Amino acid sequence: MDSTMSPHAPPGRPPHTRWNPRLVGQIAALLLANVTADSVIVMPLFVLPQMLDHFGTTQAAWLGSTAMLAGAMWAPLFGKSADIHGKRRMLTVALLVACGGAAVCLIAPNLLIFVLGRTLQGAAVAAVFLTGSLVRDLCTPRLAMTAVGAVTTCAGVVGIASTSNVESLVAQFGFQVVFAASALFATVAVICIRAFVPESEVRTPGRVDVVGTLQLGGGVVAVLGYISLGPDLGWLSAGTLALLAAGVVALARWYLVSNRNPEPVIDIRNLGRPMVLTLLVVVLATGAGQSMDQLLSLIAQVSSDQGLGYGLDAQGSLALLFGLPAVGIMAGGLLSGWLAARTDPAVALAAGVVVGTVAAFGMFLGASSLPVAICSGFFLNLGMGSLLTSGFNMAAVLTAPHRQGVTASMVAVTGAIGSVGVSFVGAAVLAGTRVAVDGTTVNSATGVHSYIAISAGLFVIAAVLAFLLLAQRRAERPQRTD
């Protein structure tokens, strides 16, 4: 096959074979969509303590991770719909839904309404994989691997600017300023995408399994709700056990029905060993890495002078703690795309997991040392940037062009479930090990270090699976063609 021809390119529109001003403009427009996703997932972590105080709750996982959890429900709908109705169209719909969710969060009078808004904001998760899929339609495969890295991780540039100003803005206007910024990003992104990015002409006839999506999403929410509420209500209480049972039944029902459905919203049949290994690496490593952001947000403003065995005393230094690592995720994405284009996405995936594993173990020291925490955070995000890009690239090379949306959504769903699941488990560990100090209940050093140990252990398992995937890809290399 001619290396300049892309099976992902829309008919009649020559794919980009090298970087040029038109491609840069399209990447910039798509990048704004991922800036919106970044503002939905990451920016609220900067103000997590303020949100907990405002709503009078200790459920940090619900406030910080609801959008990612909702993303696990939104992603299959948008992925399947994108293959049927067009990727650009569904990307703009997702951004508009996320914009509406930000507006709800901005004016939410209570926790219930706020969580509803965060659920709507979760639609922005679809932007991450839809932008990557659009890039693969616009470019030749070799160029697309690097371009996917740019569009999915360079949102960190805006993250650096936002973290340098967020403390003063929050002090002046309250935590709601984060959601006003998110709504603004979504609006600008929709305008630019409609103006500069062409619609993909790759289509797959079919329909969207809405019932199956609700069963999958409802089951995941119920199980994670059991994990979150268990420490407060009791693991064996009637209410929590009923919640767990409802989740298990919904997931079992979804699995049985999806096996008989000719067009399931997520097709888990005949995935193949490489795809299964890829998804396992994504779910474990993404969960381990992104859950660390939640931990950092909870210990960042705790002073080491309190003698708790942890504390970063980062008041006034949040730009360093959260902004500098944003450079890491951008660099990881670009390096991963460059490496994948010259070797194999499995190589980049394994490299990212190894870097994340080393950084996770570094957090044992970083929990009580701001310089070490900044360094570990940088390399965690370097690994996460590589994981994000190489996960999508790996799945893309294993999938036919007309199913790119569904497959990319599958990667997004597993990543979201991993992120939320580990965050909820970590929050449960912190809640179960809290101690009273001077009449105030605070997180204990045991809970913080147990949280880190869980994440580091998951990274180790993901690293083993990543090298198994790499070994299989190398064994299959003589049979593969470009």
Count of structural domains within the chain = 2
Is the residue at 6 inside a domain? no
Q: Does residue 15 belong to any structural domain of this protein?
A: no
pLDDT for the residue numbered 2 = 37
- 481, two tokens: 């063609």
Do 424 and 328 belong together in one domain?
yes
**Quick one: which of 464, 193, 157 has its CA closest to 327?**
157
349 and 219, same domain (yes or no)? no
In a domain, residue 185? The reply is yes
Distance CA 187, CA 332 (A): 28
Contact 177, 170 (CB under 8 A): yes
> Same domain, yes or no, for 217 and 257?
yes
Q: What are phi and psi of 442, to 5 degrees?
A: -135, 165
> What is the per-residue pLDDT for 254?
85
The answer to whether residues 243 and 285 belong to one domain is no
Determine, yes or no, domain membership for 8: no
* Spatial CB neighbours of 137, under 8 Å, sequence gap ≥ 6: 8, 9, 10, 15, 87, 200, 202, 404
Task: Provide the pLDDT for residue 228.
Answer: 66
Query: How many residues are there in the chain?
Result: 482
pLDDT at 8: 42
Specify the pTM. 0.76
**CA distance linking residue 91 with residue 94, whole number of Å:** 5
Query: Looking at residue 340, which CATH number applies to its domain?
Result: 1.20.1250.20
95 in Cβ contact with 124 (< 8 Å): yes
Could you tell me the two tokens for 239? Answer: 């209410």
Alpha carbon distances (Å) from 27 to 91, 135, 198: 14, 8, 12
**Pair (55, 139) in one structural domain:** yes
Which of 224, 245, 264 is where one domain is finished? 264
Residues with pLDDT less than 70, the chain: 1-13, 59-62, 156-167, 228-229, 231-232, 265, 269-270, 315-319, 402, 478-482
Q: Which of 264, 280, 305 is the last residue of a domain?
A: 264
Question: Could you tell me which of 228, 231, 220 has the C-alpha nearest to residue 424?
Answer: 228
Query: Same domain for 46 and 95?
Result: yes
Evaluate whether residue 204 is within a structural domain.
Answer: no
Same domain as 148, residue 168? yes
Residues 459 and 310 in one domain: yes
Query: Minimal CA–CA distance to 205: which of 257, 262, 141?
Result: 262
Q: Is residue 13 part of a domain?
A: no
Pair 33, 41: CB distance under 8 Å: no
Residues 335 and 260 in one domain: no
Residues 64 and 116 occupy one common structural domain: yes
Nearest-10 crossing angle of helices 125-138, 21-41: 170
Write the single-letter amino acid at 435: V
- The amino acid present at 350, given as its one-letter code, is A
What's the gap between Cα 209 and its chain centre? Answer: 23
Q: Is residue 68 part of a domain?
A: yes
Residues of the domain holding 260: 209-264
Residue 294 CA to its chain's centroid (Å): 13
- Check whether residue 43 and residue 127 sit in a common domain: yes
Beta-carbon contacts of residue 481 (< 8 Å; ≥ 6 apart)? 1
User: Assign residue 313 a region: left if phi > 0, alpha if psi is -120 to 50, beta otherwise?
Assistant: left
- For residue 165, which phi and psi values (nearest 5 degrees)? -115, -15
- Look at residue 7 and tell me if it is in a domain: no
HEC string for the chain: CCCCCCCCCCCCCCCECCCCHHHHHHHHHHHHHHHHHHHHHCHHHHCHHHHHHHHCCCCHHHHHHHHHHHHHHHHHHHHHHHHHHCHHHHHHHHHHHHHHHHHHHHHCCCHHHHHHHHHHHHHHHHHHHHHHHHHHHHECHHHHHHHHHHHHHCCHHHHHHHHHHHHHHHHHHCCCHHHHHHHHHHHHHHHHHHHHCCCCCCCCCCCCCHHHHHHHHHHHHHHHHHHHHHHHHCCCCHHHHHHHHHHHHHHHHHHHHHHHCCCCCCCCCCCCHHHHHHHHHHHHHHHHHHHHHHHHHHHCCCCHHHCCCCCCCCCCCHHHHHHHHHHHHHHHHHHHHHHHHHCCHHHHHHHHHHHHHHHHHHHHHHCCCHHHHHHHHHHHHHHHHHHHHHHHHHHHHCCCHHHHHHHHHHHHHHHHHHHHHHHHHHHHHHHHCCEEECCEEECCHHHHHHHHHHHHHHHHHHHHHHHHHHHHHHHHHHHCCC
Burial readout 272-301 (b: 16 or more C-beta within 10 A, e: otherwise): eebbebbbbbbbbbbbbbbbbbbbbbbbbb
Whether residue 177 sits in one domain with residue 129? yes
